[in-house]
Structure 1
Amino acid sequence: MSGDLHTLIRLHKWRLDEKRKALAELQTLADKLANDVARLENEIKSEQEIARGSAEASFGYANFAKLAIERRKRLAQSIAQVEAQITEATDEMAEAFQEVKRYELAQEGRDKRDEAKRKQRENAALDEVALSGFMRRR
């Protein structure tokens, strides 16, 4: 009967691993978005430098600036969504970890009780053997 929690522990550990993987994927996505933002900022600075150099380039910069502002806005929205998902995934992972710990502690308690019962039976058997030997010698 003590083995029945081992299956639940394995199941919950698997679920925990899946939640860890999902969180890692979200964090990778957040890193990619942060890199996209940095790249966009570098592009904006570069275009500003070019626009300062000539009147023709400054005319084209206005169009670039509109697109860059829109792209920056979309990236900010994406980052906010991913951060919310990371928060949720972190909470789910913490809950999954608590579930695993709960089952592991319950199994540990069962194992200790089973071991105590086994030792008690073993001691009773040894006592019986000793008593029988004592009675035979008398």
Structure 2
Amino acid sequence: MKSRESLIRLKQFQVDERRRQVSQIESMVDEFKRMARELDDQIASEQKRVGITDETHFAYPTFAKAAAQRRDNLLNSAEELNEQLENAREELRAALEELKKFELLEERDQIRERGEREAREQDELDEIAGRRRAQSGR
């Protein structure tokens, strides 16, 4: 029984670790997207300042080109992280299923033990009642 309790604690730790991993990846994706939006705003501001929005124009601002490249890199990284996020979520689902399986086994064993204990107690009560009947019948 103790080994199953240890297994359940281990599975709970694994579930918690997977949850932390999912949360961390989600935060990174959100942060990359936020940074990309900020770069979009900076690019638009720079384009407005110089009055050129055509990226192929010879006088297009170097800052806007560099910011666009950083934005694209961030969005690509966010997309790659989304793939990792799906894998992490799948690992979390699997860990949750495994934890649930062990918890159900533990619950089943507890119900069985409770039934056995109640049966022993009932046997003891029946024995006591039988002795009392035997004593009162004398």
Q: TM-score, structure 2 length as denominator?
A: 0.87
**1:59 matched to 2:62:** no
Segments of 5+ residues of structure 2 without an aligned counterpart are 53-57
> Is 1:9–2:1 an aligned residue pair?
no
What do you get for the CA RMSD once the two structures are aligned?
A: 1.7
- Contact residue 40 and residue 68 of structure 2 kept, 8 A: no
Cα deviation, 1:70-95, whole Å, max 9, x if unaligned, reads 22331122011110111111111111
Unpaired segments ≥5 residues, structure 1: none
TM-score of the superposed pair, with normalisation by structure 1: 0.87
SS class of match (1:120): helix
Letter in 1 for 2:135: R
The corresponding residue for 1:86 is 85
Distance in 2 separating the partners of 1:80 and 1:29: 11
User: How do 1:23-102 residues align onto structure 2 when only pairs under 5 Å count?
Assistant: 23-52=22-51, 59=59, 61=61, 63-102=62-101
Aligned residues: 132
Mapped partners of 1:73, 1:89: distance in 2: 24
State the distance in 2 between where 1:3 and 1:39 align: 54
Query: What is the rounded CA distance, in whole Å, between the counterparts of 1:30 and 1:69 in structure 2?
Result: 18
Q: Following superposition, which runs of at least 4 residues in structure 1 exceed 6 angstroms of deviation? A: none
Counterpart Cα distance in 2 of 1:3 and 1:112 = 16
Match of 1:59, SS state, is coil
RCO greater where, 1 or 2, for CA within 8 Å and sep 6 or more? 1
1:103 deviates by 0.9
Change (3 A) 1:45 1:70: same
Letter of the 1:16 partner, please give it: V
Fraction of identical pairs, as percent:
29
